[in-house]
């Protein structure tokens, strides 16, 4: 896991990531990030993962920044991969 530069997440960001995690728990961390970004990756669309209500919430952010937010939640024992 990469060292996170994120020092704190807003309550809304935590809720969004938890909602996303609930829907994609078995799909892996990278796909989790791509889905949070709203990427139209073929496998995401095939699995219907784009139908999650928070799909694309972080679309204006860089993939590395989204990964750091997810890593922050893992590091703080909020989610497990």
Structure tokens at 3: 């060292």
pLDDT in tens, 42-78: 888 888 888 888 889 999 999 889 889 888 888 888 8
Q: Is 81 domain-assigned?
A: no
Q: Is 19 domain-assigned?
A: yes
Q: 12, 51, 15, 11: which is closest to 35 by C-alpha?
A: 51
Q: Is 4 domain-assigned?
A: no
Q: Is 24 domain-assigned?
A: yes
Q: Is 26 domain-assigned?
A: yes
Structure tokens at 39: 């990427």
Q: Is 80 domain-assigned?
A: no
Q: Which residues contact 4 (CB under 8 A, 6 or more apart)?
A: 68, 71, 72, 75
Q: Mean pLDDT across the stretch 21-40? A: 75
Number of compact structural domains in the chain: 1
How many whole angstroms separate alpha carbon 41 and alpha carbon 59? 14
Q: Is 6 domain-assigned?
A: no
Q: Which residues contact 25 (CB under 8 A, 6 or more apart)?
A: none
Instruction: Give residue 53's domain range.
Output: 15-75
Q: Is 7 domain-assigned?
A: no
| pLDDT for residue 49 | 80
């Amino acid at each position: 896991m990469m060292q996170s530069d994120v020092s704190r997440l807003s309550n809304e960001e935590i809720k969004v990531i938890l909602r996303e995690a609930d829907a994609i728990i078995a799909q892996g961390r990278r796909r989790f990030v791509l889905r949070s970004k709203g990427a139209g990756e073929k496998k995401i669309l095939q699995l219907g993962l784009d139908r999650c209500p928070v799909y694309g919430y972080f679309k204006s952010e860089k993939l590395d920044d989204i990964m750091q937010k997810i890593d922050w939640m893992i590091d703080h024992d909020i989610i497990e991969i």
